[in-house]
Amino acid sequence: MDHIYQHFRQEERHFIDQASEWKESVMNSYAPKLTDFLDPREQEMVKAVVGSSTDVCLQFSGENMERKRALLYPDYFVPSHEDFQLSLLEIGYPSKFVSIEHRQVLGALMSLGLKRSKFGDLLFSGDRIQLVAAKETESFLLMNLTEIGRAKVSLSALDWSERILHVDEMLEKTATVSSLRLDAVAASVYNISRQKIGALVQTGYVKVNFRVIEQPSFECREGDTLSVRGHGRSKILSIDGRTKKDKWKISYGIQK
């Protein structure tokens, strides 16, 4: 496993070990293994674990989706959409009188006791809101998700073909930073003072690769996805070396 570990951070080894167990399970049982929803970083780690194995194949659910379920399966198996066990739910609410934000939907779902890994993307288009969830949670959600914020809501199950298509657009920019510390990079990317970013980091409002990081000194790497609550998401596209003044040149994309 050392050859895989070296490409990821120390704190990510637990997930790599878990993905390795999934792979071994498929090899030993000769049967497919379906995971919960994985964020993009976890998907990357599963890909690394499965690698170019001829014994275990890998496929992810849903094109143009951020959070996906992974299906690991033996070479004889031919996966179909149904094997991913996805539920598409539309959230009905009095849109003429109230508005519902992403964070409110997320909060309502978590308040029901659901793990984040049991539901995928939240899709917005105008007044329409859809939720992608694990099929095994569909009945529970239809019965229990009745309120978001102060708005009464109702859910209805839809066919997958009715899914709202949404693609995040990134505006590419460049910057020079004094170091690759999280507080230095985020301050430059979001045009916020380093002191304020440091406070946001320490209060748990900043994530790197979808994980809360509370150390301002955390070192950013190429490919990292950053998000700051209330300020959106960005991604470090490349680290382009040092300037003559010994600063780091970076290229990044920021969500429009």
Beta-carbon contacts of 117 under 8 Å, excluding residues fewer than 6 positions away, are: 36, 37, 38
pLDDT at 219 over 80: yes
Exposed, middle or buried, 136 (CB in 10 Å: 0-12/13-18/19+)? exposed
Cα separation of 202 and 214, whole Å? 5
Q: pTM for this one? A: 0.80
| 251: confidence class by pLDDT, cuts 50, 70, 90 | very high
Q: What is the DSSP string of 67-104?
A: SEEEEEEETT----GGGG-EEEEEEE--TTT----HHH
pLDDT for 37 beyond 90 = yes
For the cut 90, the answer to whether the pLDDT of residue 7 exceeds it is: no
Instruction: Read off the pLDDT of residues 46-76 as tens digits, 9 standing for 90 and up.
Output: 999 999 888 999 999 988 899 999 999 999 9
Q: What is the DSSP letter of 61?
A: S
Query: For residue 6, what pLDDT is reported?
Result: 77
132-176 per-position pLDDT tens digit: 999 999 999 999 999 999 999 999 999 999 999 866 678 999 999
pLDDT interval class at 191 (50, 70, 90): very high
Q: Are 226 and 235 in contact (CB under 8 A)?
A: yes
CA-based diameter of the chain, in Å?
A: 62
Domains assigned to the chain: 2-83 (3.30.1370.160), 85-162 (3.30.70.330), 170-255 (3.10.290.10)
Does residue 131 have a pLDDT over 90?
yes
The DSSP letter of residue 127 is T
Q: Answer for the pair 97, 50: CB distance below 8 angstroms, yes or no.
A: no
| Cα 147 to Cα 121, 158, 211, distances in angstroms | 19, 20, 27
